[in-house]
Amino acid sequence: MSNTAPPEDGDLRRLFEDAVSDVHPAGGTDEIRARARRPSAMRWLPITVAAAAATAVVIAGGAWLAQRHPGSNPPAAAPGTTDSTDSTASSAPAAGRPVDATVYYVGTTAAGPRLYPETRRVADATDSDLQVAVDEALTGTPEDPDYQNPFKDLGLTATATEDSGAVTIDLSDAAPRPSGMDAETAEAAVQSLVRTADGAAKSTQPVTFTVSGAPAASVLGVPTDSPVSPAGDDSILATVLIASPAQGATVPTQFTVTGRAATFEANVVWELKRGAATVRNGFTTAEECCTLAPYSFTVTAPPGDYTLVVHDTDESDGEGIGTSQDSRDITVQ
């Protein structure tokens, strides 16, 4: 861009004088008038030169204004473009996040139906941890084939909320007890919801059950007209539990097994099986007798697919009560 300053009044006068200085009309007055009556190219020369000079002044003045006020006229946006602060991103759906929920399912033991905890991973959860856990307890299929979900085929949904540790589970239906379900299994199923919800809410308070916002008189035939307290571990959990490894896990040739057991004299027996054949076996003791207490032991085995079984001992003196156990299908590499 030129840096030429706009012309002052004196400069403009000199431009005009230079433009017409060499124009000298010839002849007398009559001759001049005669020439004025007929067209002549030379007649327009002074006007043309003056117009050119005026144009130059305008251009120079515009350049001067642009220098005096840079940025006063920002360039217009290209056609079809939008501001970078477009709100499209703010209206996008929230991205999911992984949630690990401990869900309680029902299994068979020598003492009757009991609960087994299983860790469930939901990779793209958008609800609260509490809602995710309750959804899994109502509709999830356990990874371990030895466990069952009594709610799975009932088509129930629920909204779970928490207020200062007090959980409310609002069911979509009154959930009468289906035919073929005994009272013990129904009681364990209701407790599976209570323990799952309290665990997700990090609470030990009773859980309130409602149906479409109204108090629920019962769930699966179990009275729920008042909040339901979580039952104690020894009365509702299985007497032998494996915490690690998980169902379907891949482990090294030497691995550690951990869990809890409530057994006679704290005896814990284990077997590593391939089909019906026992490849390795052994025993250990829990930290305490007759109440759920931690245990651990180490297994060394060659690579392959196995079933790990941990159980108590049959102390029924022939009465046929049998043993309680937990198992895991694992791969040793």
Half-sphere exposure of 242 (CA within 13 A, CB side): 27
Domain boundaries, given as residue ranges, for the chain: 9-68, 97-236, 240-332
3-class SS at 182?
coil
Domain 240-332 grouped into CATH 3.40.50.2300: no
Helical packing angle, 9-20 and 45-68, nearest 10°:
160
- What is the spatial distance between Cα 167 and Cα 206, in angstroms, rounded to a whole number? 7
- What is the spatial distance between Cα 59 and Cα 209, in angstroms, rounded to a whole number? 84
What's the pLDDT at 17? 55
Quick one: which H or E segment has residue 128?
Answer: none
Torsion on CA atoms 105, 106, 111, 112, rounded to nearest 10: 160
Per-residue pLDDT of the chain (333 residues; tens, 9 = 90+): 444 455 555 554 554 455 445 555 555 445 444 444 444 444 433 434 334 444 443 344 444 334 444 444 444 544 444 444 444 445 566 679 999 999 999 999 999 999 999 999 999 999 999 999 999 999 999 999 999 999 999 999 999 999 999 999 999 999 999 999 999 999 999 999 999 999 999 999 999 999 999 999 999 999 999 999 999 999 999 999 999 999 999 999 999 999 999 999 999 999 999 999 999 999 999 999 999 999 999 999 999 999 999 999 977 665 555 689 999 999 999
What's the pLDDT at 95? 79
* pTM of the predicted protein model: 0.71
CA-wise closest residue to 185 among 228, 136, 219: 219
